[in-house]
Amino acid sequence: MRHNSLKEKLRNGETVYGCFIRYPNASLVEVLGYCGWDFIVFDGEHGTIEPADCEQMVRAAELQGVTPIVRVPVNQPHVILRFLDTGAHGLHVPMVKSPEDAEAVVRSVKYQPRGSRGLAAVRASDYAQRVPLREYVAQANAETLVAVHIETGDSVDRLPEILGVEGLDVAFLGPTDLSNSLGFPGELQNPKVQATFQRFVDAVSASRVALGLMVPNAEAARQWRARGARYIAVGFENVLNPACRNYLKSAREYPTYSRTVHLY
């Protein structure tokens, strides 16, 4: 397993920026890699990405020096195992509602003695060609990033207990799902939703775990960074759509003056 530069940045107190993509396309990952992201999350929950796709996407991210992370669809050991065996440097797990859920995540990610992840000579271990499996196990336990999604009111109620589970790196706020669980779907500015967000911020800020979340744009990223977020992600569509619309708007404006056109 390669060194996880993303975990190192978080340990050093840095703020990191990533992009979620839900499309099973390694070339897209490679192109995004040129943009300077700290990490890219391959969304296997709300996308169509399967382990075979993930393996190729991990290779593409590593080619550009971007940390590859995967979001699994469910908190189940055999699912987590298959995605991590592709060589992903960490994972997001949705709907973690209790310390028992968080403990199950960590045990599925970590090898013995902390966890119960199955060991094999797969891509994650460089097919056991570089170092002995004993050395790989120790490295993977230290390097693999664990992010749990806090997406319900019940999760926030139990957040201090969840954050006490050994082995968590990021508590990731799911704003839309959380607003839905509170009875205000998509109403992120609702006072009750905002009050719950603040409870999340207060609990995570008092812990050793990094505060993470998904934002819609750069302005929201700056606002959340001011509130203590250090693991900030945006959806690929939220970056693509404004760029496309701004381009088309500008391109369709009829020029009022002549100028030299440079094709390249």
Task: Please give the positions annotated as active site.
Answer: 46
> d(Cα 93, Cα 149) in Å, to the nearest integer?
6
Three-state SS sequence of the chain = CCCCHHHHHHHCCCCEEEEEECCCCHHHHHHHHCCCCCEEEEECCCCCCCHHHHHHHHHHHHHCCCEEEEECCCCCHHHHHHHHCCCCCEEEECCCCCHHHHHHHHHHHCCCCCCCCCCCCCHHHHHHCCCCHHHHHHHHHHHCEEEEEECCHHHHHCHHHHHCCCCCCEEEECHHHHHHHCCCCCCCCCHHHHHHHHHHHHHHHCCCCEEEEEECCHHHHHHHHHCCCCEEEEEHHHHHHHHHHHHHHHHHCCCCCCCCCCCC
